Each structure stands twice: as C-alpha cells, then as structure tokens.
Amino acid sequence: MIGIPLSHILIFSLLLFAIGVYGALVRRNIIGILISIELMLNAANINLIAFSKYTSLSPATGQIFAIFVIAIAATAAAVGLAIVLALYRVRKTVYTDEVNLLKW
C-alpha cells in the first residue's frame, strides 16, 4: 500500500486547515471567506478518509461521513453565496468591513 505514515497526512491536513483559518480571518471579501471555509472542510475530509484508511475497523464509516461533509459543504456554499448576492443587491459591497449597519 502507500507507505506514508498516518502522522504525515494528519500534519498535512492540519496545515491545510490552518491556511483555511488564516484566509477566513484575514480576508475582506466575503466570497474569499467562503472559499477559505471550503478549504477547511476539505482538510477535515482528508482527515476522515485517512483515519478510515489507516485505523478504522469498519472502513466504510469514514467515507460515509466524508460524503455527508461534502453535502453539507455544498449547501453551505449555496446558502452563503445566496446571502452574499442578497447583501450585494442591498448594500452594493462584498467587503466585510463595509457592512457595518448594526455597528456603532
């Protein structure tokens, strides 16, 4: 099989997740934040698959939950982008720091 130790894959997906968190923290564009969230969900999926491949006694479990995560990610993207479009229609901006109606 593939001769990669499990810890290397976990560290890789940890780095991917950290990059996603960084993007979600520093992006001004709401679409950029959504893209970063997709990256984070992707890292979680890699972890699920790696664990189901390396440690699980019923290997289907990890893949099933990865499918669930992908479905949730698709709905999150759809709803998030719909909110972005509605916001853009009202405020004519997609930048988070310009959406400050409720801020004082």
Partner 1 sequence: MPILEMAAKFGTYAVMAVILIFALGVVTLRNIFHCALCLAAALIGTAVLYVAFRAEYLAAIQILLYVGAVVTLIIFAIMLTEHLAGKTVRQNNSQSPLAIAGLLGFVALLTVVILKTPWPVTQTALKAKVSVMALGEALMGTYVFPFEVISIILIAALIGTVVIAKKDAPEERL
Considering only residues 66 through 85, tell me which ones interact with partner 1, judged by CB under 8 A.
66-68, 70-75, 77-79, 81-85
Under rule CB under 8 A, residue 98 binds partner 1: no
Instruction: Write down the least CB distance from residue 55 to partner 1, Å.
Output: 5
Under rule CB under 8 A, residue 103 binds partner 1: no
- What the block records as the tokens of 64 is 């099933």
User: Side chain identity at 79, as an amino acid letter?
Assistant: V
**β-sheet bridge partners, residue 95:** 29
> Residue holding tokens 């564009």?
29
Q: Which of 97, 100, 103, 104 binds partner 1 (CB under 8 A)?
A: 97
Ramachandran angles phi, psi of 4, nearest 5°: -100, 130
Instruction: Write down the least CB distance from residue 68 to partner 1, Å.
Output: 6
The Cβ of residue 63 has, within 10 Å, a number of other Cβ atoms equal to: 15
Under rule CB under 8 A, residue 23 binds partner 1: yes
SS3 29: strand
* Rounded Cα distance, 20 and 1, in Å: 30
Instruction: Write down the least CB distance from residue 104 to partner 1, Å.
Output: 16
Considering only residues 30 through 69, tell me which ones interact with partner 1, judged by CB under 8 A.
31-32, 34-36, 38-39, 42, 45-46, 49-50, 52-61, 63-64, 66-68
